[in-house]
Structure 1
Amino acid sequence: MNYSFSFFKDCLISGLKYLPVTLRIALISIALGTVLALIVAIIRFYKVPVISQILTAFITVYRAIPMMVLMLIFHLIFVMYFNDVARFFHSNLTVNDVGYNPLAYFVMTLGTMTGVNECFRGALSAVPKIQFEAAQSVGLTTTQTLRRIILPQMFPVAFPSYMSNIIGVLKGIPLLGAIGVIEVMQGALLEGTKSYSYLEAYTAVALIYVVFIAIITIVFEKIEKKIFVHQPTIGS
């Protein structure tokens, strides 16, 4: 079978129709996951009793399980128990009413949190202990120390690794098709299956992601140059 650019165009257009869904899932999960990752990193860095150990164990187990397996597990739990939980709270909502997008936000947020958490924790560890001691000597609280001294030094160090983690999260979004979420990948395949033009559909998705990731990378690099170029280096 010859490659058809006409089918490629149809698959490309069909995939682009669902780009807003992909962008919405990406933005919400990255925003929530980043906030959670920072909170978890601080808890683990300060070794908060019990909580830090529980979070460390959770992150270790979560990162050890393939993302596809996690998605399928969460999908089965969601389908099996959502209606029962809704009835417990006296709600008439069913799985069909809410769809699978909330599950996508949940899975991708956890994926973002577990990945980004490590780069934040590593960056926190890179800040010299003398910085903490100096802050305590002038009477700053832990919150003030983090906000005024530690985090401004941490973010420039964490940013390159953070950027890499976020790109990894974005490239994992096509896996959501396994749990019934229609995004760019599934959108292109909707058109591709009509004519069995799967190669055209996959190359259309590849092109969309190449452009998408390239734009994200350029934006991140500009942010890094403009925001962090005048930031002090660790220990200065």
Structure 2
Amino acid sequence: MELINVKFLIDTFFVALSGVPVALLVTCVSLLIAVPLGFFLALTRINEIPVLKNITKTYVSFVRGTPVIIQIFVLYSSIPLILDGILKNYNIDYAIYDVNPLWYAYIIFSFNTAAVLSEVFRSALQTVPKGQLEAAQAVGLTTAQAYRRIIIPQALVAALPNVCTATINLIKATSLGYAISLQEITLRAKVAANVGYNYLEAYMDIFFVYLILCMTVEYLFKLSERRLSRYKSVVA
């Protein structure tokens, strides 16, 4: 008996590969939402904004203290119920349970990633001496201009390695999208494996696809770090 079906392994690799656009789409959209939200949450912690600071701490603790798969199940179950209740309250007839799971994936992974990035940005912003903001304001720059021109470029140098890690973790987390029937890498490979029970080959394909994808993203972040290296002397 053949231990590994090589033909299935090769064929299913391309099946799994076809799920990469969905995984990248979820990753990109989630980051577009999570980056500004995470930065805002970081500012609430740094500036110790009343109420918002405590809400942010609770939110971050919840995300860091619970498995991603549990967050997926809780949010995927609660969001449709909440929306269905709101729609019924306003007598709006809409099949909320027929919504493409891709939309739920955007919400769920943005929710998770924003909490992670808020801690990344908070620690990065704290590496920039407070005197630089005061100096910028002294020469006539507004707080927004000071952050955009001076604080953020320096903080980005310190944050980029952790942003890279968060991005890679987000890409890997999309593999849990099968739990909400998201047609990404894992689900496509598992469906192909169901026919002949070739799960070993399917999981090997999933492994290789994610390995290639994450290594590529890591390489792109390293290129970005080199471009931002001109700010390192400023940070130092």
TM-score by length of 1: 0.92
| 1:161 aligned partner | 162
Partner of 2:53: 52
Identical-residue share of aligned pairs (%)? 27
Counterpart-to-counterpart distance in 2, 1:108 and 1:54: 19
Q: What's the CA shift for 1:168?
A: 0.9
1:160 is paired with a residue whose SS is helix
The alignment status of 1:140 with 2:141, answered yes or no, reads yes
Q: Specify whether residues 89 and 58 from structure 1 end up closer, same or farther in structure 2 by C-alpha distance, changes over 3 A only.
A: same
Counterpart code for 1:13: F
Q: Which residue of 2 is the match for residue 20 of structure 1? A: 21
Instruction: Tell me how large the CA RMSD over aligned residues is.
Output: 1.8
Opposite residue 187 of structure 2, the aligned amino acid is: Q
Q: Please list the CA deviations of residues 133-169 of structure 1 after superposition, one character each: whole Å capped at 9, or x if unmatched.
A: 2223324322122122211211111111111111111
Question: Is residue 197 of structure 1 aligned with residue 195 of structure 2?
Answer: no
Residue range with higher mean Cα deviation, 46-55 or 209-218: 46-55
**Structure 1 Cα separation of the partners of residues 124 and 54 of structure 2:** 19
- Alpha-carbon shift at residue 234 of structure 1 (Å): 4.9
Which amino acid in the other structure matches residue 5 of structure 1? V
Deviations 1:162-184 (CA, angstroms, capped at 9, x unpaired): 11111111111111111222211
Structure 1 gap ranges (5+): none
Answer whether contact 1:10 1:191 (CA < 8 A) is retained: no
Q: Which runs of 4+ in 1 moved over 4 A?
A: none
Which residue identity lines up with residue 47 of structure 2 in the other structure? Y
Q: Cα–Cα, structure 1 residues 102 and 76, in superposed 2: closer, same or farther, change >3 Å?
A: same
Partner of 1:33: 34
For residues 110 and 74 of structure 2, what CA distance do their matches in structure 1 show? 16
Q: 1-side partners of 2:83 and 2:196: how far apart?
A: 36
Comparing 120-129 and 173-182, the one that deviates more: 173-182
Q: What SS is found at the alignment partner of 1:222?
A: helix
SS at match of 2:31: helix
Per-residue deviation, residues 64-113 of structure 1 (Å, max 9, x unmatched): 11111111111221343443333334433213431211111111111111
- Paired with 1:235 and 1:79, the residues of 2 have a C-alpha distance of 46
Q: Separation in 2 of the partners of 1:93 and 1:25?
A: 24
What 5-or-longer segments of structure 2 have no aligned partner?
Answer: none
